[in-house]
Structure 1
C-alpha cells in the first residue's frame, strides 16, 4: 500500500506576526527568534475543521485520479473536531460522496496523521488479501487551533495556525509504498500538552469558561526536552526495524512544530542525505495537518521522485511519536495544485 495522491488546504486569511505579537505581549522579532515563524493562516468565522478537510480531500482525490465512491475508509486525524459528536470524518464522507467508506476520527494530537496513516494502511492490507479490486483509503490531518488558543498566552498563541492535508492510499507496484511504521506513546507525560475542560472530567460550564479551561496549554520546555530525547530514538528505531540505512533516506518530512526546535534536532537524527521539507515559517504549527501539508507541497513542486525513500515523523500530545517509512510512487497521476490559497 502506498500514497496515490496528495492534497491540502489553507484558509485565505494570512496572519502576520504583528497582530499575534501585540495580543501576546511580544514582538515580531521575538516570535521569529523563538520559533522561526513569520505567518500562519486562520480559518474564517464560518469555517470548521470539516470544511478544511473536505477541500484537502477533494484535492487528494483529484491528484490520485480516483473517485470518492471507491473509498473504503476515511480517517480524519484531528484534536479540534467540529463538535464532540459525531465524528468529523462522517461529515467529510457525506460531503465528498464517499458512500461506501467507513469513517472515523483519530486523536493523537500533532502526531495524529502518522498514527492514522499506519491505521489505514493496516486496514487496507487486511482487506486487500484475496480481493481482485484492492480498496482505497483517505487519510486527512485537519486542525483549527485558532479556536482553542489563548491569544494572550505567548507560549502557544505565537505557534499555531489552521490547515488541512490529505493523502489517498491504495495498492502500488511491488517495491513501492509504505515500508513500515513505528508508533510510541508515553502517557505518564500526558499533562505536558492538554485542553483541560470540555470532556467528561470537566464538562463545559460557566466556571470552566471563566477559568480558561477550554484553551490549549503546553509546557514548552518539557515538550522540547521530550522531542530532543525521543525523536532521534524513534527515527533510529524505524530505520533499524525495516533495515533501511540512514543514508538511504532521501526526504524527511517532520511535524512542523517550531522552526527553532527542528533546527536544533535535525543534526541529531543522522540523516546525511535527506532533504528536509519545512513549511513552518509560513504556515506555523498546524498540528495534525502539518505533515500532509508539507508532503503535498513537496509533491506539487515535483521534489519527490519515483523510488525515493521518504521518512515522515510526528510528535505531540499524549505524549506520542510516530514515524513512517515509504518508497515514493509516482507520478502515476499528475499532481494538481492544492486548494490552498496562494
Structure 2
C-alpha cells in the first residue's frame, strides 16, 4: 500500500489471557513518530428483551483498550470509530479519540430471527470481523480490518493494566473481574518492545468471580523509555500476554555514564558535582544487587561483570535524588 505520508499498520492477532478466546490488536503508525494500539474483544450479546419466540433485536458489548507509544503523542485523534460484523449484520460503535480502556455497546439494534436470545454469544452469531476507522495527526483517514476469532471462556477478564512513574520507581497496577485456573502473573519490562525480562512474579487467585486489584513496583526502571506488559500463566503452564504500556522515566540530576556499551571496567560519570555524596549500586536484569560503593571521583572501576544488561543506581545521600542508568557490558 503506497501513501504520500509514511503510514504503516500491522494487524496482530494474539490470545490475551485466554486459551481459545482471542483479542485482536491493530497497530497504526503515524508519520509523526507515534503509534496507536487498539485492542478489541466482543464480550457478549445484549438482546432488547428476554422474550424472543419470534426473534429479537440485539447489540454487541465490546471491551476495548486504546494506548499510544512513541513520540509526539497527540492529545486526541480526529476520528476513532468502528463496526463489527456478526454474520451478515453490521453493528456500529464509537471509541474515545483520546484513548483509554473500558467497554462499549453498539447501538444498531439489529434483528435476529432466531429464538436464541437466552443463549446467543458473539461466537454463535459469528461476530468475527471488526473495521476500525481512524484519522489523526500524521495518520491519513483509513479503515483497518481485524479478524476476531471466536472462542470459549477467558482464563481471566482483565479490567485494566497501567504503569506510571512514581519518584524513583514505576508503579504497575491491574485488576481482574474473573479468573479461571489462573496460576500467576509476570510483569515484564523492555527498553525496545522486542527483548523482554521478568521484573516481578505475582500469584493469581486461581479461580475467582470477584473483582481483584493487583499492585506491584519496578524499583529499578531504566532511564529513558520503559515498556511493560503482563504475562498470565495458567495452572497447565500455558501463557499469554497483555498489550504493553510505556513509561518514560527520568529521576534526579542529569547524570550520564560513559562508555556505554563498555568493554572494560572503568566507568565515567558526567553531571555529578560532589561524587563523595553519591552511592553507586548495580543490579542485574533480574533486580539482584551485585555491587555497591561510594564514589570518590567521577570515575569508578567496577568489578568484572559478565556480558549483559545492568541497572546502575546513583543515590545522592544528601538530597535523596536517585538516577537509574542502563548499563551494557560487552
The answer to which structure has the higher helix fraction is 1
TM-score (norm 1): 0.29
Question: How does the TM-score come out when normalised to structure 2?
Answer: 0.30
Higher strand share: 2
| Pair member with larger Rg | 2
